[in-house]
């Protein structure tokens, strides 16, 4: 029996690697395999490639006041930024502000700082639209606030946070810096990167390779390294650099930014078609968020979402019900619960995350199959 053609609508979890990025990785891995810390000529060639990748990233993002620390992904970058900064500057204060809908890579960092190091964490709530109140942020700032960490785009709902306005509030307070996890935003929407003191992202969300990522921070900011060793990455992240992976990350970023405007227009068409179907069937679905065309989040009102997701998977259509980073242990979507205060909606979410490679035909197939599944499930 022939297998159905795969339709992949889970791009917020990971994206397929771009062939150009993979070709770059293979070329660098085979031709410039030497350790970039080595003093011989082959090692120095690899080191020059590494420096070139850093400069390319800074130039692409227009952040010449910053520096690049290559990491294994956004989780490591978030840990380095949040814990590295908080512990380094704890003599200035031990108050941190975040939101109640952050990615686990941020929430667990904050939890550890609170429970093990005595930091005070203020979690800003979100309203029914998934947004924070900027007045609440302003009021939450204290004399001992040293760090504000708020994501650019929520990984489950796609809600876009007002990064520029947040940065303006934070920068009124000289002891505080602003960190943002921009993983779901970079290469998809425009952001004022120059206004963000530290930001983190992963390569595999922009058609790069798993195990690649970066923390971009202002040069003047110091961090307590989480990894001790040979002092690579300007002393902030010891360990032999993956030159090929880092060069491939720069390539993936360039390609995503080069096509960002056209990709956004295309994905918006997909979003409009799916959104219309969901809104036309209010007895079956509740639309939780859709203003970001890359991530559409809705809840099934009469059927169990996990059953629907499994049935779609069996039909060759890949979607998710919660974030892939905690799908196996979280029975509900915390961001949707925070927005709606409705346990049924939170337990029955479906996330569709588009990519420019997806087509209107695929959306039509998904709609027809979803409608059929909803009608068949008892």
The active-site residue out of 60, 221, 307, 325 is: 325
The structure tokens 């003047």 sit at 220
> Which residues neighbour 206 within 8 Å (Cβ) at sequence distance 6 or greater?
15, 186, 187, 252, 253, 255, 256
109 annotated active-site: no
DSSP E strands: which ranges in 165-315? Answer: 177-181, 198-202, 213-218, 285-289, 295-300
- For residues 96 and 177, the answer to whether their CB atoms sit within 8 Å is no
- For residues 272 and 237, the answer to whether their CB atoms sit within 8 Å is no
Q: 42 is written with which tokens?
A: 């082959």
The Cα–Cα gap between 183 and 351 comes to 17
DSSP state of 3: P
Q: Tell me the HSE value of 279 on the side-chain side, using a 13 A CA sphere.
A: 9
- For residues 169 and 137, the answer to whether their CB atoms sit within 8 Å is yes
Question: Would you mind telling me the total number of residues written for the chain in this entry?
Answer: 378
Q: Tell me the HSE value of 256 on the side-chain side, using a 13 A CA sphere.
A: 30
DSSP E strands: which ranges in the chain? Answer: 7-8, 66-71, 95-99, 120-124, 145-149, 177-181, 198-202, 213-218, 285-289, 295-300, 317-318, 349-353
Q: 88 is written with which tokens?
A: 């380094």
User: What residues are labeled active site?
Assistant: 325
């Amino acid at each position: 029996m022939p297998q159905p053609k795969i339709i992949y609508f889970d791009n917020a979890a990971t994206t397929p690697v771009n062939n150009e990025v993979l070709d770059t990785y293979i070329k660098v891995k085979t031709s410039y395999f030497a350790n970039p810390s080595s003093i011989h000529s082959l090692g120095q060639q690899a080191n020059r490639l590494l420096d070139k990748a850093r400069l390319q990233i800074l130039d692409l993002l227009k952040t010449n006041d910053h520096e690049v620390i290559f990491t294994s992904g956004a989780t490591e970058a978030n840990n380095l930024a949040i814990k590295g900064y908080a512990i380094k500057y704890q003599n200035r204060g031990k108050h941190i502000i975040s939101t109640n809908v952050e990615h686990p890579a941020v929430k667990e960092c904050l939890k550890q700082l609170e429970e093990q190091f005595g930091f005070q964490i203020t979690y800003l709530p979100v309203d029914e639209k998934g947004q924070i109140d900027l007045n609440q942020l302003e009021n939450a700032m204290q004399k001992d606030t040293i760090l504000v960490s708020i994501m650019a785009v929520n990984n489950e709902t796609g809600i876009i946070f007002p990064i520029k306005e947040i940065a303006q509030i934070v920068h009124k307070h000289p002891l505080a810096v602003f960190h943002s996890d921009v993983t779901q935003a970079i290469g998809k929407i425009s952001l004022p990167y120059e206004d963000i003191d530290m930001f983190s992202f992963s390569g595999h969300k922009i058609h790069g390779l798993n195990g690649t990522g970066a923390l971009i921070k202002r040069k003047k900011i110091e961090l307590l390294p989480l990894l001790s060793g040979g002092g690579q990455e300007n002393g902030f992240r010891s360990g032999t650099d993956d030159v090929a992976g880092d060069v491939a990350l720069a390539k993936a970023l360039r390609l995503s930014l080069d096509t960002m405007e056209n990709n956004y227009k295309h994905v918006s068409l997909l979003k409009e078609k799916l959104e219309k179907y969901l809104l036309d069937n209010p007895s079956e679905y509740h639309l939780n968020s859709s203003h970001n065309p890359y991530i559409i989040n809705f809840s099934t009102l009469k059927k169990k979402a996990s059953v629907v997701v499994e049935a779609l998977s069996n039909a060759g259509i890949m979607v998710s019900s919660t974030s892939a980073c905690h799908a196996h242990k979280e029975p509900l979507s915390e961001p949707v619960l925070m927005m709606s205060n409705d346990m049924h909606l939170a337990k029955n979410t479906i996330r569709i995350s588009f990519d420019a490679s997806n087509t209107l035909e695929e959306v039509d197939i998904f709609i027809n199959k979803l409608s059929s599944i909803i009608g068949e499930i008892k």
